[in-house]
Chain A
Amino acid sequence: MRFDIVVSVAVLLMGMLAAHALSETASSTLAGPESFASIADPEQRSVALFAELGKVLTHPRCVNCHPAGDRPRQGELGRMHQPPVERGPDGHGLKTMRCAICHQGANFEPGRVPGHPEWHLAPREMAWEGKMLGEICAQIKDPARNGGRSLQDLVHHIGTDTLVGWGWAPGFGRQPVPGTQRDAGELAEAWVRTGAVCPTR
């Protein structure tokens, strides 16, 4: 009996420690470009800047609508979207089930439905789901796979696009992307300024 109690307490403590470790790893902030000034090698600094920006790019708020297939994901675990919608020819859904029939111009908290006037899926060639950060980096630098954007366009897109910005104000029960959109824009700008070097993996 006493042994059982000792084991139970030990399990409880281990659980609490694990939960603590998890909360330590889930940062809600982004380091600013100045945090990387001590890295002398510009290439390494550029990679480090992109790795920090990667906290945004690989966040569920972003990846869920950059899926590998034709269906968006949802939630923190990237479950398949319910109801079972598909991207359709223009990324705004099938003819009979457009994104906008549920996703209004803004988040609607009573219905717990996120919203934005331009709610849609990223094109197939911009899929990030299941990719390493280095692969995403190479992809977003490639005009053939980034919607024909220059590096400066990318900085602008990440830093000011309002649909991207939804990730920081996602509404009821959704974890926002770390930091602020301005932080992300500054990281992207610093990354481009240092040569837009990609991580190897």
Chain B
Amino acid sequence: MRHVIFAILIVLFVQPAWAHKPSDSYMSLTVQEAQISGQWDIALRDLNDAIGLDTDDDGAISWGEVRTKHAEIASYAFSRLKFQSSEAICAIAIGAQLADHHTDGAYAVLQFIATCPAEIQHLTIDYRLLFDMDAQHKGLLRLSNQTHNQTAIFSQESPVHSFTMGEGSVWQAVRLYLREGVWHIWLGFDHLLFLVTLLVPAVLIRQGGQWKAVPDFAIALREVVSIVTAFTVAHSLTLSLATFGLIWLPSRLVESAIAGSVVLAGIANLYPRITQRRWLMAFGFGLIHGFGFAAVLSDLGLPTDSLLLSLISFNVGVEIGQLAIVVGLLPLAYAVRDSRSYQPLVLRAGSIAIILVALAWLAERVLDISLFSV
């Protein structure tokens, strides 16, 4: 009869166990040259089943109970994890242990660094945590290196996964640097303002000491193309020179000069007699902006094997971002160039506002202080 009673329990609940998900661990790894820095989150409930954490038998796990078991947790976990790179085992150095909450409860967070004998090209990870106790356990891995991210799920059926670091990296690197380039132009207000400042008068023409609206779009377009081309050629030049390490300027100087360039561009709008050839100004200051781009690019960390490709991708990204701004702005400016308010409001007041903002930047950067509180 026991037989049948059990059957009834089965029938009654055709539903899956409706709870928090089954057991998972979360591992995130960052690979850099021969080193893997990692963080491994393992559920306290799972560790309790494996090695017993609730030492005072009160049905609750306190931080004190976890802390006294740190060594045991580490030896249990890391005896079930193996990194292998080019046929050699990587040595794991165990770091700090912390705590975190996931959707199904508290986790022990194990930080570690694995050092492989040589720069990692192929990495094999052998994961055997908890499978002997919980056949539905899974290890959810997120692996990243400089150019891309990969994910994998370890389970009893597939406890070993291999990764190639360079795999698909060319296209992924191109995409990464393209995107960074576009974002840099959009988020870097100073480049944006410089470009806008130069473009505002492009729909006007100087006649007899007066600004007049350009008679047709082609003239405005020619002016814009000359400015953008000059700016592009100039910043590409210094960006490349700086990236290949041929010239180097201190970043405070570069950042200050960029702010100064915006100030001067604004002043040139107010006093057009200073220069009629704005493309020349775009070129001159473009050289400075190129150094600014180079600083961002070096912050991103450049892969040594595809330096040129990354540089080109980043630069193309910058140009795409720049072009998007021009395409958005020029027709708008062209449409309202005739209106009575364009000159006083957009050209003059706009330039004055830009000058003020850029002066503040200049002061900040020269004096290394902050005027705008976050």
Is B one of A's binding partners?
no
Identify the A interface with B (CB < 8 A): none
